[in-house]
Amino acid sequence: MGKALIIGAGGVAGVVIHKCCQNPEVFSEIMIASRTKSKCDAFKEKLDGDATVIHTAQVDADNCAELIELINEFKPEIVINVALPYQDLTIMDACLATGTHYLDTANYEPPDNPKFEYKWQWAYREKFEQAGLCAILGCGFDPGVTGVFCAYAQKHYFDEIHTVDILDANGGDHGYPFATNFNPEINIREITANGRFWRDGQWIETKPLEIKRVFDFDGIGSKEAYLLYHEELESLAKNIRGLEQIRFFMTFSQNYINHLTVLQNVGMTSIEPIDFEGKKIQPLQFLKAVLPDPASLGPRTRGKTNIGCICRGVKDGKPAAYYVYNICDHQECYREVGSQAISYTTGVPAMIGAKLLLQGVWKKAGVYNVEEFDPDPFMQELNGQGLPWQENFNPASVE
C-alpha cells in the first residue's frame, strides 16, 4: 500500500522496522537509511524475505541536500524520523522540498543548548499546510501515547480535565552498574536539566530531581519517581481543555542517581567542549561512547515498564478520575523484535502513527501533536500491536 523511509538504525529504529514488516498490507516497501549503512544492512539481512520489500542507504541526516536526493530517488509517502532530535529540522526541510509527509518521536533540541521545546517545529505549521503535507510530532510513548491517552480521556470521560500526572516507571534490570535505556546523550541532557511543570497558566521551574514522589506501580511495585520537564507537557497544556496543572514523573534507582551525581561532579555530563590531545571534544559525547549501547541491552534486561496518565477533572458537574497505562515486559519485547521495552514502547507508536497517516485516518495538512487527532483508532491499534492498555477509575493520588 505505502512506502516509508525510516531514518535511523538504533534501538528504536529496529522496533519500527520490525513492526512495519509485521504490517505489510500498509508498509509494502521501506527504506532504512542512516549514517552507518552496515547497521541498515544488518536489519535487512535479518528481515529480508518478509512481505515488505526492504532497501537500505547511507545518508547524513544533518545534510539536507543528501536527504532530498535520497527522498527523490526512493519517493516514499512518509519519512519516519527516528534519528537524533538535533536532526528534526533538517529532515522536515527535506520533506517540504520533496512533498513528503513527516513523523518523529522527539522534538527538536539544539546540539549546543540542552533545551527542547516545540517552537522550532511549530514554526513549520504554515509551510506544511500550504504544501498539503502532514507532520506528526512526538509519536513515541512519552511523548506520544501519553498525549493520546489524555485525548482519549478527554473525549470519553471528562468535560474538563483539571490535572494530569504522567508517570513513567522502568522496573527493568540490565545488570550493568550504570547504563541508559535510550541514547545516553539525550537521556543525560534531559535528566540533568532543570525540572518544570505547568500550573495555573505558567511554568514553574525546579532544580534537577528536586521533587520526588513514591508511587505504587501496577506490575512493578513501589518506586521513587522524580519530577522532570518533558516535551508533551508543552503541547498538552495547550490542547487539553480546562487544564490547571500538568506534571511528569520518571523513576530512577538510587544507584542510577549516585552514578549520575559522580559523573556530573567530575564534569563528564558537560556539553561544553574541552581540549583533549589537540582536539575539541564534548565530555558527554565521550561518555556516550564508553557507556553500553542501549540497543545491546535487550537480551540482558529483565522486568517491566509501566507508563501512563492520571487525569482528574469533572464530568456532568461531578468530580471524575481516570488512570490509563501500559505495562510492557522487557523479555517479551526481546523475544518479539530483539529489543528491550524502552525502545519497544517508542518504536511501536511511531509505526502506528505512520500507519494511520498512510491509511488516511490521521492525515491533515499542517504540523500536529498526537493529541490533536482522534485518539480512538490509535488506542485500538495499541491493543493489536503489542502495547495493550489498562484503565483504573479510582487511581491513587500523586500528592
pLDDT score at 28: 96
Question: Each residue of 309-327: pLDDT tens digit?
Answer: 999 999 999 999 999 999 9
Q: Is 137 left (phi over 0), alpha (psi -120 to 50) or beta?
A: beta
CA distances for 250 relative to 42, 221, 260, 295, 309, angstroms: 33, 14, 15, 21, 12
pLDDT score at 189: 76
What's the rounded mean pLDDT across residues 265-280?
83
Question: Each residue of 54-111: pLDDT tens digit?
Answer: 999 999 999 999 999 999 999 999 999 999 888 999 999 999 999 999 999 999 988 7
Q: Residue 298: pLDDT above 90?
A: no
Averaged pLDDT of the chain = 93
pLDDT score at 335: 96
In whole angstroms, what is the distance from residue 276 CA to residue 272 CA?
A: 13
Q: How many CB atoms lie within 10 A of CB 303?
A: 17
Please enumerate in sequence order all residues whose Cβ is within 8 A of that of 373, keeping only pairs 6 or more positions apart, or say none: 136, 151, 356, 362
In whole angstroms, what is the distance from residue 392 CA to residue 312 CA?
A: 12
The answer to whether 354 touches 103, Cβ cutoff 8 Å, is yes
* pLDDT-above-70 percentage for the chain: 98
Residue 107 C-alpha from the chain's centroid: 9
Residue 373 C-alpha from the chain's centroid: 17
Number of H helices, E strands in the chain: 14, 18
| Closest C-alpha to 232, from 283, 190, 287, 180 | 190
Q: Cis (ω within 30 of 0) for the bond into 292?
A: no
Question: Each residue of 87-96: pLDDT tens digit?
Answer: 999 999 999 9
pLDDT score at 187: 75
The answer to whether 337 touches 175, Cβ cutoff 8 Å, is no
**Which pTM was predicted?**
0.93
Q: Where are the beta strands (DSSP E) in 176-286?
A: 195-199, 202-206, 212-217, 221-228, 245-251, 274-276, 279-281
Residue 119, φ and ψ in degrees, nearest 5: -60, -35
Ordered by start, the domain boundaries in the chain are 145-339
The three cell numbers of residue 14 are: 529496529
In whole angstroms, what is the distance from residue 340 CA to residue 158 CA?
A: 34
* pLDDT-above-90 percentage for the chain: 76
According to CATH, the topology of domain 145-339 is Dihydrodipicolinate Reductase; domain 2 (3.30.360)
